């Protein structure tokens, strides 16, 4: 599975959009981009995933560059409850070897 690179930490003002970048320059054509977050003392929570196209759900939007070497997770209106560590992961979607390899993620702090 491809490795990902994320900034160690970021701050965002409450109510503003939080844009979390991720580089995955060695991603393969059959690897998806996943985002999870982990609020302190809890297990990771799925946010969103995508392959090529931009995706949006009730939690966030995922913007994947055309060459798929990087992506951005967007929380459109950050709240204090969005303070968490955000993990960007790439992996093959279906089949054998479906492990997730989590890095250290980005620690997002939403500031009142």
Partner 1 sequence: GAGVSQSPSNKVTEKGKDVELRCDPISGHTALYWYRQRLGQGLEFLIYFQGNSAPDKSGLPSDRFSAERTGESVSTLTIQRTQQEDSAVYLCASSLVLEQFFGPGTRLTVL
Residues in contact with partner 1 by the rule CB under 8 A: 32, 36, 42-46, 49, 85, 87, 93-94, 96-105
Which two structure tokens, joined as six digits, stand for 56?
Answer: 């949006």
- Which of residues 53 and 104 has its CB atom nearest to partner 1 in the complex? 104
CA 82/CA 100 separation, integer angstroms: 22
CA 107/CA 21 separation, integer angstroms: 12
| Phi-psi sector, 17: left (phi>0), alpha (psi -120 to 50), beta | beta
Q: Find the shortest distance in angstroms from Cβ 15 to partner 1.
A: 28
- Which of residues 7 and 102 has its CB atom nearest to partner 1 in the complex? 102
- Which of residues 19 and 102 has its CB atom nearest to partner 1 in the complex? 102
Q: Find the shortest distance in angstroms from Cβ 42 to partner 1.
A: 7
């Amino acid at each position: 599975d491809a490795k990902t690179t994320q900034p160690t930490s970021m701050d965002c003002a409450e109510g503003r959009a939080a844009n979390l970048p991720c580089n995955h320059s060695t991603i393969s054509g059959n690897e998806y981009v996943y985002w999870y977050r982990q609020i302190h003392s809890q297990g990771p929570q799925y946010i969103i995933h995508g392959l090529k196209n931009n995706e949006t759900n009730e939690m966030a939007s995922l913007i994947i560059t055309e060459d798929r070497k990087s992506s951005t997770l967007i929380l459109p209106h950050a709240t204090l409850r969005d303070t968490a560590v955000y993990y960007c992961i790439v992996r093959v979607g279906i089949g054998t070897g479906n492990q997730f390899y989590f890095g250290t993620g980005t620690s997002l702090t939403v500031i009142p």
